[in-house]
Chain A
Amino acid sequence: MNVEARAMKARITVTLKNGVLDPQGRAIANALHSLGFDNVEDVRQGKLIEVQLKAMDEASARDEIDAMCRQLLANPIIENYRVELL
């Protein structure tokens, strides 16, 4: 049985919470409107962070990434985050 830690990659998407003003998203929406994309109703901008790490299994990788998000990668007052393991 393989008990070695293996390399994994996590893709973390950080977005502003609903109700938090996103002036950059609004500026992008305005720019899209001025290009004629009249169907655009709203734009929200976020961040994408990819972390390569070593972990024994997916569960422990998720736990560790979750701790990273809570402590540094996202600000829980204004942001939500979503983690995908690749």
Chain B
Amino acid sequence: MKSAVIVFPGSNCDRDVAVTLEAVTGKKTAMVWHGETSVPSVDLIVLPGGFSYGDYLRSGAMAAHSPILRAVSAEAKRGVAILGICNGFQILTEAGLLPGALMRNASLHYICRDVGLKVERTDTPFTNAYAPGEQVTMPIAHKDGAYFADEETLDRIENEGQVVLRYSATAETGNRGNPNGSRRDIAGVVDRTHRIMGLMPHPERAADAALGGTDGRRLFESLTRGLN
């Protein structure tokens, strides 16, 4: 599996994602600067976490209209898998590639801690290495992570099986559930084609046993199986 990571001014998880991808795939990851107008031919494009363009206007709004996003959208239409993590998820919703929006956390606080998650679907290229209904732990680190969509949209994406990850109280994470006020505890969604995924938790920060667990690593392992 060949992959590329898009680097925006203000991205700060781009290298962590590249390290994880290289550990899982054994292949070098292409780092693509936001000012570029094309993406090399790859199987997976990752929009990493961070604070692209300083989160001006709304988190992800500026990046969603940057030149590289036009190229990313074109690649998505060709069937290339797209993964947006944290700020990357915000960018994908702002670009209209995923439903909903990410709003200020209900507590107004920036929250940085491990959360419990339930894997709702394992028949996507992003989650096939998990067991159905499995509870996993990954860290979150965000201030604008409350998932919002109107009731009609929420019903539609639930019915179409687009909700892939939900916040879930687990003993490992202190039995605290939804950390940020997300509607229906939604932490990660896919588009209708199941080729585009966005999630607020950071799987790349849970991809090494020495650095906070390996539950996130399996998301990248899923992709190596799902996309080959």
A residues near B (Cβ < 8 Å) are 19-21, 23-24, 27, 71-73, 75, 77-78
Known: A23-B104, A23-B107, A24-B104. A77 touches B149 (CB 8 A): yes
Top 8 A-B pairs ranked by shortest CB distance? A77-B101, A78-B101, A23-B108, A23-B106, A23-B104, A75-B101, A75-B58, A27-B108
User: With an 8 A cutoff between CB atoms, is B100 at the interface?
Assistant: yes
User: With an 8 A cutoff between CB atoms, is B61 at the interface?
Assistant: yes
Residues of chain B in range 133-154 having any CB-CB distance to chain A below 8 Å: 146, 148-150
Neighbouring A residues of B149 by C-beta, 8 Å: 77
Report the bound CA distance from A71 to B148 in whole Å.
19
Known: A72-B57, A72-B65, A73-B57. A21 touches B106 (CB 8 A): yes
Question: Given A21-B146, A27-B108, A78-B148, list of 11 further CB < 8 A pairs?
Answer: A19-B150, A21-B106, A23-B105, A23-B106, A24-B108, A72-B65, A75-B101, A77-B100, A77-B101, A77-B150, A78-B101
Neighbouring B residues of A24 by C-beta, 8 Å: 104, 108
Known: A20-B148, A21-B181. A75 touches B61 (CB 8 A): yes
B residues near A (Cβ < 8 Å) are 57-58, 61, 65, 93-94, 100-101, 103-108, 146, 148-150, 181
Neighbouring B residues of A27 by C-beta, 8 Å: 108
Report the bound CA distance from A73 to B65 in whole Å.
11
Judge whether A23 and B94 touch: CB under 8 Å.
no
Report the minimal beta-carbon distance from A82 to chain B, rounded to whole angstroms. 17
Q: Is the interface of B mostly helix, strand, loop or mixed?
A: loop
Neighbouring A residues of B65 by C-beta, 8 Å: 71-72
Neighbouring A residues of B148 by C-beta, 8 Å: 20-21, 77-78
Report the bound CA distance from A61 to B117 in whole Å.
48
Neighbouring A residues of B146 by C-beta, 8 Å: 21
Report the bound CA distance from A75 to B148 in whole Å.
12
Least CB separation from B183: chain A residue: A21
Neighbouring B residues of A72 by C-beta, 8 Å: 57, 61, 65
Least CB separation from A77: chain B residue: B101
Can you give 10 contacting A-B residue pairs, CB < 8 Å?
A: A20-B103, A21-B148, A21-B181, A23-B104, A23-B105, A23-B106, A23-B108, A75-B61, A75-B94, A75-B101
Neighbouring A residues of B93 by C-beta, 8 Å: 77
Report the bound CA distance from A63 to B23 in whole Å.
51
Least CB separation from B96: chain A residue: A77
Least CB separation from A71: chain B residue: B65
Contact of A21 among B61, B100, B103, B150 (CB under 8 A): B103
Report the bound CA distance from A75 to B93 in whole Å.
10
Question: Which of A23, A24, A27 counts the most chain B CB atoms within 10 A?
Answer: A23
Report the bound CA distance from A73 to B64 in whole Å.
12
